[in-house]
Amino acid sequence: MRAFVFPGQGSQKVGMGSELAASSTAAREVFEEVDEALGQNLSRIMREGPEDALTLTENAQPAIMAHSIAVLRVLEREGGLVLTERADFVAGHSLGEYSALCAAGAFSLADTARLLKIRGRAMQAAVPVGEGAMCALLGANLASAQGLAEAAAEGEVCQIANDNDPSQVVLSGHAGAIERAIGLAKEHGIKRAISLPVSAPFHCSLMQPAADRMAEALGATPPGAPRLPVFANVTAAPASEPTQIADLLVQQVTGRVRWRESVLAMREAGVEHFVELGGKVVGPMIGRIDREARADSIMTMADIEALMKEIG
């Protein structure tokens, strides 16, 4: 069994998609459609930067999705891939869940781009710059991360945002609480705590205004039924019913990204081969979660050709 998986924020870089666009009409059409849907030349920012413009949450989120879907469209158009014949599940890390839903046909490409633009803006606006922060805990498990979060909170928000893999858990919350968590990490048996260069405290209760905005947006642009089950971040379980999918996407804004558990659940369901489209982030995480699982990251035309030779 096989799952196609999609990266989240942090996988963007200037030049992303340039080689695909130069080599494939299918990729160029994806970038043009996203530009038109957003009413901005996002593809130029992806291609040329500047980096600070691409890193803006409202640009990074649709850009990462566009890159992933461009890779998929090249696989479909030029490689003859039929997703429903070559995959059993799809999943994505945070914003990558929208990419997964787009790939599975629950959202159109244009609607996915617009929803992610709204999501990026809402998440950025939810907390004034400087009031929130995030940190990565290296060598932490869920129990030690939870203990640290509770010790550091002191009446402020300090919550587990991402359970990425056995070596990395991410905390999110008020800046003071995250600073305290970094200082207390070693006392809780955690090897290292690193402040993350983010502009807002994602996936914690401080994001409630953004969750409310996404409830409105998804009410106006609801998902359809996906052609494949989508493993949801907040439940680490497959979802196929449109109303449930919309509700889970709203919960995801403030909820924990249960990526480690999602991968283990897909493995339990029989998945042996994971294919990451448009990044090299979740593939390596999968390798750390289960060394027996096979994970390929597909970004270039050479990657696409190699994958199609293998799976046909």
List residues with catalytic annotation. 94, 203
Q: Which of 9, 17, 10, 11 has the alpha carbon at shortest distance from 48?
A: 17
The number of beta carbons lying within 10 Å of the beta carbon of residue 264 is 15
Cα(263)–Cα(164) distance, integer angstroms: 10
Q: Quick one: CA dihedral 155, 254, 267, 68, positive or negative?
A: negative
Please name every residue paired with 136 in a beta bridge, in sequence order, or none if there are none: 170, 194
Which amino acid type is present at position 70? A
Give the per-residue SS3 of 222-237.
CCCCCCCCEEECCCCE
Q: At CA 7, angle to CA 6 and CA 8, rounded to 5?
A: 130
Give the per-residue SS3 of 25-56.
HHHHHHHHHHHHHHCCCHHHHHHHCCHHHHHC
Tokens of 282: 């979740």
Q: Helices marked H in 255-300 — which ranges?
A: 259-268, 282-289
Alpha-carbon distances, residue 151 vs 112, 169, 234, 249, 257 (angstroms): 39, 16, 24, 29, 21
Q: Which string of DSSP letters, residue by residue, matches 72-117?
A: HHHHHHTT---HHHH-SEEEESTTHHHHHHHHTTSS-HHHHHHHHH
